[in-house]
Structure 1
Amino acid sequence: MDLLFLFWSIGTGIICGAGLYEAAVAVALVTTLGILFFQIIPISASPYLVVINAQDKTAEAEILSIIKGYSPHYRIDSKNLRQSGMDLIVEIRSKNSSALVDELSAVESVTSVSLLYHDAPVKN
């Protein structure tokens, strides 16, 4: 959004400098409507990080199958294996994240589940 505003303001300055005031007003209206559209209509679900602590290393397959049911496109950000279990951090996009946390908590070997809102630049 910041880059959109930056290029819009530079373009408006150039258009006004050329004396095309009607075009500058039209571009301003279209840009304003575009910004409002992107603010009101969410493009996709918000990104979340799910932090899972489990006592059993073999629970990973069950955990990931549950996550896949809520977010088909997930990404494992971190996996830490210990003698006593494992820690898993998974990035998801899901609109029903509280149900996901409840279902993950019900897995027998899972000791804790944390859900964090991930407010970082989108990288694809």
Structure 2
Amino acid sequence: MDTNLTFNDIFKSSFLEKTESFSLTDSLIGLLVAFAVGLFIYVIYKKTFSGVIYSHSFNISLIVVSMATALIIMGISSNVLLSLGMVGALSIVRFRTPIKDPMDLVYIFWSIVAGILCGAGFIPLVIVGSLLIGAVLLFFVNRITVENPYLLIVKYRTAELERSLEEIVSRQSRKHMLKSKSVMPGGEYEVTYEIRVKAHEGEFLNAITEMEGVHSAVMLSYDGNFTA
């Protein structure tokens, strides 16, 4: 049995071995590319946002998600035990922030995928893929217009107004469908139509509110959020 210990044997440490195998240049390149791709996602999200209230903090979080994911992949790529521990730690995390718009989920997934590719070193793939995804989003969101149906909610006093209201809706809309009808206490009525208007939505709504016996008329458009 060899009992001779050298100076290097005494101070030998797995921590120092991991530090020696760590490439600062590769890590910086991966993080910088992750930041650049995250910034590109930030710009695309801002240009394609079509909701009610733009969340600047959510958009900033897309950049951080890309960089943090890249950092995690760099850390676990060379250590099996660390990767298993990271999987176990992430499996108990519960994200309770509600995602109201499905497109927000698309951007979150895009940021995570970009971070994974940057951390794994697939720099050309993440750049080309992000450019193509950004071009697709810009084209389909900003260039292609999808007509959303409106919900028309009218409150009126007498049942005789129902026929007149039906005639106006039929004349002013390209397509309509009665979704619900309610009778309120006191003899008031409320009807809800799903309509697709031809043009001049404001004039169409004004014609209904000017009818004698109509209490209120509200038209809503749904595209992930209700807007009046």
What residue number does 2:88 align with? none
Match of 1:24 among 118, 126, 144: 126
Secondary structure at 2:190's aligned position in 1? strand
Larger Rg: 2
TM-score for both structures, normalised by structure 2: 0.42
Give percent identity, aligned residues only: 24
Number of residues of Structure 1 aligned to a counterpart in Structure 2: 119
Encode CA deviations 1:22-68: one digit per residue, 9 max, x unaligned: 121111112222333344243224x5443312222143243234324
How far residue 8 of structure 1 moved from its aligned partner, in angstroms, is 0.9
Alignment-mate amino acid for residue 6 of structure 1 = I
Encode CA deviations 1:92-123: one digit per residue, 9 max, x unaligned: 45453212212323545x4233324445637x
Match of 2:205 among 101, 110, 119: 101
Alignment-mate amino acid for residue 208 of structure 2 = L
Q: CA, structure 1 residues 49+32, in 2 after alignment: closer, same or farther (shift >3 Å)?
A: same
Contact 2:208–2:214, Cα closer than 8 Å, also in 1:
no
What residue number does 2:153 align with? 51
How far residue 4 of structure 1 moved from its aligned partner, in angstroms, is 1.0
Kindly indicate which of the two structures has a greater share of residues assigned to helix: 2
Counterparts of 1:1-124 in structure 2, within 5 Å, are 1-41=103-143, 42-45=145-148, 48-68=150-170, 69-74=172-177, 76=179, 78-82=180-184, 84-94=187-197, 96-108=200-212, 110-118=213-221, 121=224
Secondary structure at 1:35's aligned position in 2? helix
How far residue 86 of structure 1 moved from its aligned partner, in angstroms, is 1.1
Bigger RCO (CA 8 Å, 6+ sep) = 1
Q: In the aligned structure 1, how far is the partner of 2:165 from the partner of 2:209?
A: 10
Flag structure 1 segments of 5+ consecutive residues without an equivalent. none
Q: CA, structure 1 residues 107+116, in 2 after alignment: closer, same or farther (shift >3 Å)?
A: closer
What residue number does 2:92 align with? none
Flag structure 2 segments of 5+ consecutive residues without an equivalent. 1-102
Alignment-mate amino acid for residue 102 of structure 1 = N
Contact 1:101–1:113, Cα closer than 8 Å, also in 2:
no
Q: CA, structure 1 residues 19+8, in 2 after alignment: closer, same or farther (shift >3 Å)?
A: same
Contact 2:183–2:189, Cα closer than 8 Å, also in 1:
yes
Moved more, 97-106 or 86-95: 86-95
